[in-house]
């Protein structure tokens, strides 16, 4: 649900999020999804990465960037 909600907010398709694209809009949407999932649901970075089709390190870096 969070992926669908955030993809609509950022005007990015869910398939594009899972594609591993490095476009700024897609990266920001992934970061927002990661932040929301960890803060609200307590989901690990590894699990988020599996759902988004990226490495765990990409999610960890996105979370760090979102805190700055």
pTM of the model: 0.86
Reduce the DSSP state of residue 51 to 3 states and report it. Answer: helix
Torsion 42-55-53-10 (CA) sign:
positive
When pLDDT is cut at 50, 70 and 90, the band that residue 65 belongs to is: confident
DSSP 54: S
Reduce the DSSP state of residue 11 to 3 states and report it. Answer: coil
Task: Find all residues with CB under 8 Å of 65, minimum gap 6, and list them.
Answer: 31
Query: pLDDT tens-digit profile of 3-38?
Result: 899 999 999 998 888 888 889 999 999 999 999 999
Query: pLDDT tens-digit profile of 30-43?
Result: 999 999 999 999 99
> For the residues 41-57, what does the mean pLDDT come to?
94
């Amino acid at each position: 649900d969070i992926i669908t909600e955030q993809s609509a907010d950022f005007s990015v398709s869910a398939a594009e999020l899972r594609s591993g694209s490095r476009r700024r809009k897609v990266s920001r949407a992934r970061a927002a999804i990661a932040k929301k999932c960890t803060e609200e649901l307590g989901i690990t970075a590894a699990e988020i990465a599996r759902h988004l089709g990226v490495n765990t390190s990409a999610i960890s870096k996105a979370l760090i960037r979102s805190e700055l």
